[in-house]
Structure 1
Protein backbone atom coordinates (compact mmCIF):
# COMPACT_ATOMS: atom_id res chain seq x y z
CA UNK A 1 0.00 0.00 0.00
CA UNK A 2 2.85 2.34 -0.90
CA UNK A 3 2.85 5.56 -2.83
CA UNK A 4 3.79 5.22 -6.49
CA UNK A 5 5.44 8.14 -8.29
CA UNK A 6 5.33 8.22 -12.08
CA UNK A 7 5.67 10.65 -14.95
CA UNK A 8 2.43 12.54 -15.59
CA UNK A 9 0.58 11.39 -18.71
CA UNK A 10 -1.84 13.38 -20.92
CA UNK A 11 -4.81 11.51 -19.42
CA UNK A 12 -3.77 12.79 -15.98
CA UNK A 13 -4.49 16.43 -16.89
CA UNK A 14 -8.17 16.57 -15.92
CA UNK A 15 -7.88 14.68 -12.61
CA UNK A 16 -4.67 16.58 -11.79
CA UNK A 17 -6.46 19.84 -12.48
CA UNK A 18 -9.25 18.82 -10.11
CA UNK A 19 -6.68 17.90 -7.46
CA UNK A 20 -4.92 21.26 -7.89
CA UNK A 21 -8.16 23.16 -7.46
CA UNK A 22 -9.22 21.13 -4.37
CA UNK A 23 -5.80 21.52 -2.81
CA UNK A 24 -5.82 25.28 -3.32
CA UNK A 25 -9.45 25.75 -2.27
CA UNK A 26 -9.31 23.47 0.79
CA UNK A 27 -5.69 22.82 1.75
CA UNK A 28 -4.60 26.40 1.24
CA UNK A 29 -7.73 27.94 2.81
CA UNK A 30 -5.72 29.44 5.70
CA UNK A 31 -3.62 31.27 3.10
CA UNK A 32 -6.33 32.76 0.87
CA UNK A 33 -8.99 32.97 3.64
CA UNK A 34 -11.66 32.62 0.96
CA UNK A 35 -10.83 36.03 -0.50
CA UNK A 36 -12.14 36.01 -4.09
CA UNK A 37 -9.45 38.45 -5.26
CA UNK A 38 -6.74 35.93 -4.29
CA UNK A 39 -8.56 32.63 -4.84
CA UNK A 40 -10.01 33.48 -8.26
CA UNK A 41 -6.62 34.70 -9.52
CA UNK A 42 -4.83 31.63 -8.07
CA UNK A 43 -7.28 29.27 -9.76
CA UNK A 44 -7.61 31.20 -13.05
CA UNK A 45 -5.05 29.14 -15.00
CA UNK A 46 -5.89 25.81 -13.34
CA UNK A 47 -7.87 24.23 -16.17
CA UNK A 48 -7.35 20.87 -17.91
CA UNK A 49 -5.97 22.47 -21.09
CA UNK A 50 -3.26 24.40 -19.23
CA UNK A 51 -2.37 21.44 -17.03
CA UNK A 52 -2.05 19.24 -20.14
CA UNK A 53 0.24 21.85 -21.75
CA UNK A 54 2.39 22.05 -18.60
CA UNK A 55 2.68 18.24 -18.53
CA UNK A 56 3.57 18.11 -22.25
CA UNK A 57 6.24 20.82 -22.21
CA UNK A 58 9.69 19.34 -22.88
CA UNK A 59 11.22 21.83 -20.42
CA UNK A 60 9.07 20.54 -17.54
CA UNK A 61 9.23 17.36 -15.50
CA UNK A 62 5.70 16.60 -14.28
CA UNK A 63 5.02 13.70 -11.94
CA UNK A 64 2.02 12.32 -10.10
CA UNK A 65 1.67 10.32 -6.90
CA UNK A 66 -0.82 7.46 -6.73
CA UNK A 67 -1.90 4.81 -4.31
CA UNK A 68 -4.16 1.98 -5.48
CA UNK A 69 -4.86 3.90 -8.70
CA UNK A 70 -6.01 7.04 -6.86
CA UNK A 71 -4.28 10.33 -7.70
CA UNK A 72 -2.93 11.79 -4.44
CA UNK A 73 -0.51 14.50 -5.58
CA UNK A 74 1.45 16.11 -8.35
CA UNK A 75 4.61 18.12 -8.81
CA UNK A 76 6.16 20.01 -11.68
CA UNK A 77 9.82 21.01 -12.00
CA UNK A 78 11.09 23.38 -14.68
CA UNK A 79 14.57 23.16 -16.20
CA UNK A 80 15.22 26.56 -14.62
CA UNK A 81 15.12 24.85 -11.21
CA UNK A 82 11.70 26.11 -10.18
CA UNK A 83 9.36 23.79 -8.35
CA UNK A 84 6.31 25.31 -10.02
CA UNK A 85 3.75 22.87 -8.58
CA UNK A 86 3.75 20.61 -5.54
CA UNK A 87 0.22 19.82 -4.40
CA UNK A 88 -1.32 17.00 -2.38
CA UNK A 89 -4.94 15.90 -2.15
CA UNK A 90 -6.28 17.50 1.07
CA UNK A 91 -7.36 14.12 2.47
CA UNK A 92 -3.89 12.65 1.84
CA UNK A 93 -1.81 15.17 3.76
CA UNK A 94 0.82 13.89 6.22
CA UNK A 95 1.07 10.35 4.85
CA UNK A 96 4.28 10.82 2.83
CA UNK A 97 2.90 11.96 -0.54
CA UNK A 98 4.61 15.36 -0.46
CA UNK A 99 7.88 13.83 0.74
CA UNK A 100 7.80 11.26 -2.09
CA UNK A 101 7.06 13.93 -4.70
CA UNK A 102 9.84 16.17 -3.40
CA UNK A 103 12.38 13.32 -3.42
CA UNK A 104 11.48 12.47 -7.03
CA UNK A 105 11.70 16.10 -8.15
CA UNK A 106 15.07 16.55 -6.45
CA UNK A 107 16.38 13.38 -8.14
CA UNK A 108 15.29 14.77 -11.52
CA UNK A 109 16.94 18.10 -10.76
CA UNK A 110 20.21 16.29 -10.04
CA UNK A 111 19.84 14.33 -13.31
CA UNK A 112 19.47 17.68 -15.10
CA UNK A 113 22.53 19.01 -13.20
CA UNK A 114 20.45 21.64 -11.45
CA UNK A 115 22.29 22.69 -8.31
CA UNK A 116 19.60 24.75 -6.62
CA UNK A 117 15.81 24.57 -6.51
CA UNK A 118 13.44 27.39 -5.65
CA UNK A 119 9.71 27.86 -5.17
CA UNK A 120 7.11 30.18 -3.74
CA UNK A 121 5.37 28.64 -0.74
CA UNK A 122 2.19 29.83 0.93
CA UNK A 123 2.44 30.03 4.72
CA UNK A 124 0.55 26.75 5.19
CA UNK A 125 3.34 24.82 3.38
CA UNK A 126 6.47 26.66 4.47
CA UNK A 127 7.19 24.39 7.45
CA UNK A 128 6.97 21.30 5.20
CA UNK A 129 9.66 22.65 2.88
CA UNK A 130 11.84 23.80 5.78
CA UNK A 131 11.69 20.27 7.26
CA UNK A 132 13.04 19.02 3.92
CA UNK A 133 16.05 21.34 3.86
CA UNK A 134 14.66 24.40 2.09
CA UNK A 135 15.74 27.81 3.35
CA UNK A 136 13.29 30.66 3.64
CA UNK A 137 14.64 33.73 1.84
CA UNK A 138 11.76 35.97 2.91
CA UNK A 139 8.41 37.11 1.65
CA UNK A 140 7.48 37.86 -1.95
CA UNK A 141 4.12 38.57 -3.50
CA UNK A 142 3.17 35.76 -5.85
CA UNK A 143 1.81 36.34 -9.34
CA UNK A 144 -1.71 35.78 -7.97
CA UNK A 145 -1.33 38.35 -5.18
CA UNK A 146 -0.63 36.15 -2.13
CA UNK A 147 2.33 36.84 0.14
CA UNK A 148 4.50 33.72 -0.14
CA UNK A 149 7.86 32.63 1.17
CA UNK A 150 10.64 32.37 -1.40
CA UNK A 151 12.15 28.98 -0.58
CA UNK A 152 15.36 27.50 -1.98
CA UNK A 153 17.56 24.45 -1.51
CA UNK A 154 21.10 23.74 -2.58
CA UNK A 155 21.23 20.18 -3.90
CA UNK A 156 24.14 17.85 -3.26
CA UNK A 157 25.27 15.92 -6.30
CA UNK A 158 24.64 12.59 -4.56
CA UNK A 159 22.50 12.54 -1.39
CA UNK A 160 24.15 9.33 -0.12
CA UNK A 161 27.58 10.88 -0.53
CA UNK A 162 26.40 13.99 1.31
CA UNK A 163 25.08 11.88 4.20
CA UNK A 164 28.46 10.13 4.44
CA UNK A 165 30.24 13.49 4.61
CA UNK A 166 27.98 14.62 7.47
CA UNK A 167 28.79 11.57 9.61
CA UNK A 168 31.67 11.82 11.99
CA UNK A 169 34.43 9.29 11.67
CA UNK A 170 36.44 7.94 14.54
CA UNK A 171 40.12 7.15 13.87
CA UNK A 172 40.57 5.05 16.96
CA UNK A 173 41.66 1.43 16.60
CA UNK A 174 39.00 -1.20 16.12
Structure 2
Protein backbone atom coordinates (compact mmCIF):
# COMPACT_ATOMS: atom_id res chain seq x y z
CA UNK A 1 0.00 0.00 0.00
CA UNK A 2 2.87 2.37 0.76
CA UNK A 3 4.11 2.17 -2.83
CA UNK A 4 0.64 3.00 -4.17
CA UNK A 5 0.40 5.95 -1.77
CA UNK A 6 3.80 7.32 -2.81
CA UNK A 7 2.98 7.01 -6.51
CA UNK A 8 -0.42 8.62 -5.99
CA UNK A 9 1.16 11.56 -4.12
CA UNK A 10 3.70 12.02 -6.93
CA UNK A 11 0.89 12.03 -9.52
CA UNK A 12 -1.02 14.74 -7.65
CA UNK A 13 2.19 16.76 -7.23
CA UNK A 14 2.80 16.52 -11.00
CA UNK A 15 -0.69 17.87 -11.72
CA UNK A 16 0.09 20.77 -9.38
CA UNK A 17 3.49 21.42 -10.97
CA UNK A 18 1.82 21.53 -14.39
CA UNK A 19 -0.65 24.11 -13.08
CA UNK A 20 -3.62 21.81 -13.67
CA UNK A 21 -5.18 22.01 -10.20
CA UNK A 22 -7.55 24.57 -8.81
CA UNK A 23 -9.95 24.71 -5.90
CA UNK A 24 -13.42 23.27 -6.37
CA UNK A 25 -16.74 25.04 -5.99
CA UNK A 26 -16.45 25.09 -2.16
CA UNK A 27 -13.74 27.71 -2.46
CA UNK A 28 -11.13 26.36 -0.03
CA UNK A 29 -7.85 28.11 -0.90
CA UNK A 30 -5.82 25.79 -3.13
CA UNK A 31 -2.71 26.04 -0.98
CA UNK A 32 -4.68 25.07 2.15
CA UNK A 33 -6.15 22.03 0.44
CA UNK A 34 -2.78 20.98 -0.93
CA UNK A 35 -1.10 21.40 2.44
CA UNK A 36 -3.79 19.31 4.15
CA UNK A 37 -3.42 16.70 1.42
CA UNK A 38 0.39 16.63 1.59
CA UNK A 39 0.46 16.25 5.38
CA UNK A 40 -2.16 13.50 5.38
CA UNK A 41 -0.48 11.69 2.49
CA UNK A 42 2.93 11.71 4.20
CA UNK A 43 1.42 10.41 7.45
CA UNK A 44 -0.49 7.72 5.54
CA UNK A 45 2.75 6.55 3.92
CA UNK A 46 4.38 6.22 7.36
CA UNK A 47 1.40 4.34 8.79
CA UNK A 48 1.26 2.01 5.77
CA UNK A 49 4.92 1.18 6.41
CA UNK A 50 4.19 0.63 10.11
CA UNK A 51 1.29 -1.67 9.23
CA UNK A 52 3.55 -3.64 6.90
CA UNK A 53 6.18 -3.95 9.64
CA UNK A 54 3.68 -5.46 12.10
CA UNK A 55 3.63 -8.53 9.85
CA UNK A 56 -0.15 -8.51 9.93
CA UNK A 57 -1.20 -12.18 10.19
CA UNK A 58 -3.73 -11.78 7.39
CA UNK A 59 -1.13 -10.44 4.95
CA UNK A 60 -0.43 -13.95 3.80
CA UNK A 61 -2.62 -16.06 1.52
CA UNK A 62 -5.04 -18.27 3.36
CA UNK A 63 -4.27 -21.96 3.27
CA UNK A 64 -5.58 -23.35 0.00
CA UNK A 65 -6.47 -19.98 -1.48
CA UNK A 66 -6.69 -20.38 -5.22
CA UNK A 67 -5.71 -17.71 -7.72
CA UNK A 68 -8.63 -15.41 -8.45
CA UNK A 69 -10.27 -15.93 -5.07
CA UNK A 70 -11.18 -12.97 -2.93
CA UNK A 71 -8.83 -13.01 -0.01
CA UNK A 72 -5.65 -11.46 1.34
CA UNK A 73 -3.54 -12.61 -1.60
CA UNK A 74 -5.91 -11.14 -4.18
CA UNK A 75 -6.16 -7.86 -2.25
CA UNK A 76 -2.39 -7.44 -2.34
CA UNK A 77 -2.33 -8.46 -5.99
CA UNK A 78 -4.77 -5.67 -6.84
CA UNK A 79 -2.78 -3.15 -4.81
CA UNK A 80 0.30 -4.19 -6.82
CA UNK A 81 -1.65 -3.71 -10.07
CA UNK A 82 -2.79 -0.29 -8.89
CA UNK A 83 0.79 0.71 -8.08
CA UNK A 84 2.01 -0.55 -11.47
CA UNK A 85 -0.72 1.41 -13.27
CA UNK A 86 0.11 4.58 -11.36
CA UNK A 87 3.79 4.14 -12.16
CA UNK A 88 3.16 3.55 -15.88
CA UNK A 89 0.50 6.11 -16.68
CA UNK A 90 -0.16 8.22 -13.60
CA UNK A 91 -3.42 10.11 -13.32
CA UNK A 92 -4.88 12.87 -15.46
CA UNK A 93 -7.55 14.27 -13.14
CA UNK A 94 -7.93 14.84 -9.38
CA UNK A 95 -11.12 12.75 -9.50
CA UNK A 96 -8.98 9.69 -10.22
CA UNK A 97 -6.92 10.33 -7.07
CA UNK A 98 -10.15 10.86 -5.13
CA UNK A 99 -11.49 7.46 -6.22
CA UNK A 100 -8.23 5.70 -5.40
CA UNK A 101 -8.11 7.29 -1.94
CA UNK A 102 -11.70 6.21 -1.36
CA UNK A 103 -10.69 2.62 -2.19
CA UNK A 104 -7.58 2.70 0.00
CA UNK A 105 -9.52 4.25 2.90
CA UNK A 106 -12.08 1.46 2.71
CA UNK A 107 -9.30 -1.18 2.58
CA UNK A 108 -7.66 0.20 5.70
CA UNK A 109 -11.02 0.48 7.43
CA UNK A 110 -11.81 -3.15 6.69
CA UNK A 111 -8.40 -4.24 7.99
CA UNK A 112 -9.15 -2.39 11.22
CA UNK A 113 -12.18 -4.61 11.82
CA UNK A 114 -10.29 -7.90 11.40
CA UNK A 115 -10.12 -8.84 15.12
CA UNK A 116 -13.88 -8.44 15.54
CA UNK A 117 -14.62 -10.34 12.34
CA UNK A 118 -12.33 -13.21 13.35
CA UNK A 119 -13.85 -13.38 16.82
CA UNK A 120 -17.40 -13.35 15.42
CA UNK A 121 -16.47 -16.10 12.96
CA UNK A 122 -15.08 -18.22 15.77
CA UNK A 123 -11.57 -18.18 14.36
CA UNK A 124 -8.96 -18.65 17.05
CA UNK A 125 -5.47 -17.30 16.60
CA UNK A 126 -2.48 -19.58 17.09
CA UNK A 127 -0.78 -17.73 19.93
CA UNK A 128 -0.76 -14.68 22.16
CA UNK A 129 1.88 -13.25 19.82
CA UNK A 130 -0.60 -13.45 16.93
CA UNK A 131 -3.27 -11.78 19.07
CA UNK A 132 -0.90 -8.91 19.95
CA UNK A 133 0.22 -8.51 16.32
CA UNK A 134 -3.36 -8.51 15.11
CA UNK A 135 -4.41 -6.01 17.76
CA UNK A 136 -1.49 -3.69 16.93
CA UNK A 137 -2.16 -4.06 13.21
CA UNK A 138 -5.83 -3.30 13.75
CA UNK A 139 -4.98 -0.16 15.72
CA UNK A 140 -2.49 1.00 13.06
CA UNK A 141 -5.01 0.25 10.29
CA UNK A 142 -7.56 2.39 12.14
CA UNK A 143 -5.09 5.27 12.28
CA UNK A 144 -4.27 4.74 8.60
CA UNK A 145 -7.97 4.76 7.66
CA UNK A 146 -8.45 8.08 9.51
CA UNK A 147 -5.46 9.72 7.80
CA UNK A 148 -6.45 8.35 4.41
CA UNK A 149 -9.89 9.83 5.02
CA UNK A 150 -8.26 13.23 5.49
CA UNK A 151 -6.25 12.85 2.26
CA UNK A 152 -9.41 11.63 0.50
CA UNK A 153 -11.31 14.69 1.70
CA UNK A 154 -8.50 17.10 0.79
CA UNK A 155 -8.03 15.73 -2.73
CA UNK A 156 -11.82 15.86 -3.11
CA UNK A 157 -11.56 19.66 -2.80
CA UNK A 158 -9.27 19.86 -5.82
CA UNK A 159 -10.55 20.41 -9.33
CA UNK A 160 -9.00 20.09 -12.76
CA UNK A 161 -8.00 23.29 -14.51
CA UNK A 162 -8.61 23.00 -18.26
CA UNK A 163 -5.57 25.07 -19.14
CA UNK A 164 -2.45 25.57 -17.03
CA UNK A 165 -1.51 29.03 -15.87
CA UNK A 166 0.46 30.88 -18.50
Taking structure 1 as the reference length, the TM-score comes to: 0.28
Greater per-residue strand proportion: 1
